[in-house]
Structure 1
Amino acid sequence: EEDLLVVHLVSHGMQNGQLLLQQPGIELPNLSPQDFAEMLEPLNVRRKLLVISACYSGQWIEPLKDEDTLIMTSARADRTSFGCGDDSEMTWFTKAVYQSVGLSLADPDAMFEDINQQIRTWEEEIGMGESNWSYPQSHVGENLREWLSQMPQPAP
């Protein structure tokens, strides 16, 4: 009753929503949101926080959302996301979640709005037009929202 499973997936996303999985020397299939949902099923985990940082990651919300899950994706289902590359330490979305804004679950809606605004700022700073913005997406299940609101908050 006190547990929250946190999973953060980062990869190249494909237009069909799958994450590209590559590891030299190992043949891996790509990972679809439906396959990931099936992987979670036998764990019987009630509360989940899922962060997916990949192009087209908005496609992960519908197959994984429920009343006990918070899902944050770096892009809308039909959009690419940014800040990734061979020379990147982390994606823009990952950087926003853990460094610039921070993972603060007391008010997940406000946290996600701040993350979204940080991404928009970076997109505008490089001169990206609105037609190319990534539009990060989120879902907060009502049961999880209630549970998070009852959690003790750290002292300032």
Structure 2
Amino acid sequence: MAGQRAGLIVQICALAMGLALSLALPTRAEAASPFDAWAVVVVAGDWRGAGGGPTKAFDNARRDIAARLSDRGFDAGRISQFSVKPDSALARPATAKAIYETLSAESAQAPGCMVYFTSHGDPQGVVVGDLILPPNILGLMIDRSCGDKPTVVVVSACFSGVFVPALAKPNRMILTAARPDRTSFGCGEADTYPYFDDCFLQVLKDAAHFAALAPGVQACVAAREIHEGVRLPSEPQIWIGPQLRPLLPLLTFAAPASP
């Protein structure tokens, strides 16, 4: 009897220890996101609307895209926000120098990079304050900071397709709000977000990964422009490098937070 009693005690202890370990180990849903150590920069490059008056559209997009990225598995502490008119402690003054220095510092130990610009644009580049940041300079900034790491670059601006040739590398995904010869829409004084940024937010809420997000944003923008009666659609552009293409579906976003 004593032996049976001792054996039963050992079994109970083993079960208790197994239960404790199972509670201590992270579940699949709690497992670390593949993006939690990525360096992220989100930039609102202008405060003026299409008519020249003030607009919150770009800063609204900057703020809410940073929050949505955090919700989908990016570490909020590694998301650096920039604005030409910072409205809170979350955003720093946007200059090309400050953006580059921050991206360089944050990406030094990061496994990947994400860069997002929302602003006005023209065939020469994207507006950052009173200056134009051209594609070749942004390309150099990303080359020198992120190097060969997996990198996602999003440029939400008119004519932003001009960035694809300068930024395209085997390890990168480029998503732009328009063709090189087309405008994008929704940056007026009364707009909450540019159309493209609004679609990015909508699709990112439920997308499994970047490979699904990009065509989802394209489809959303097309539907919005048809609804608004846009005569010449913006036609957002997607470019995914051959090294990154097979990896993207494996880099899945964290499950969205409950409403």
Q: Deviations over 1:77-111 (max 9, x none)?
A: 0000011122223211111112x211646361x42
Matched pairs, number: 146
Partner amino acid, structure 2, of 1:101: V
The more displaced of 43-52 and 73-82 is 43-52
Deviations 1:54-79 (A, max 9, x none): 00000000000011101100000000
CA–CA distance in structure 1, aligned partners of residues 244 and 208 of structure 2: 10
Change (3 A) 1:107 1:11: closer
Partner of 2:6: none
In the TM superposition, what are the counterparts of 1:3-82 in structure 2 within 5 Å? 3-14=111-122, 16-22=123-129, 28-45=130-147, 46-82=149-185
Using structure 1 for the length normalisation, give the TM-score: 0.82
| Equivalent position of 1:142 in the other structure | 242
Q: CA RMSD in A?
A: 2.2
1:93-104 equivalent positions in 2, closer than 5 A: 93-98=196-201, 100-102=202-204, 104=207
Distance 1:153 1:136, change over 3 A: closer
**Partner Cα distance (2:216, 2:132) in 1:** 31
Segments ≥4 residues shifted beyond 6 Å: none
User: What is the distance in 1 between the residues matched to 2:252 and 2:238?
Assistant: 23
Partner letter of residue 90 of structure 1?
Answer: Y
Question: Which whole-Å CA distance do the structure 2 matches of 1:20 and 1:155 have between them?
Answer: 34
Determine helix, strand or coil for the equivalent of 2:247. helix
Q: 2:132 & 2:118 partners in 1: Cα distance?
A: 13
TM-fit CA distance, 1:153 = 6.1
SS in 1 for 2:132: coil
Distance in 2 between residues matched to 1:102 and 1:21, nearest whole Å: 25
Tell me how far apart the structure 2 counterparts of residues 148 and 128 of structure 1 sit (CA, whole Å).
32
Specify whether residues 105 and 59 from structure 1 end up closer, same or farther in structure 2 by C-alpha distance, changes over 3 A only: farther
> Offset at 1:10?
1.1
Structure number, greater radius of gyration = 2
Report the CA distance shift for 1:152/1:93 in structure 2 as closer, same or farther (over 3 A). Answer: closer
Corresponding letter in the other structure for 2:218: N
Task: Report the equivalent of 1:124.
Answer: 226
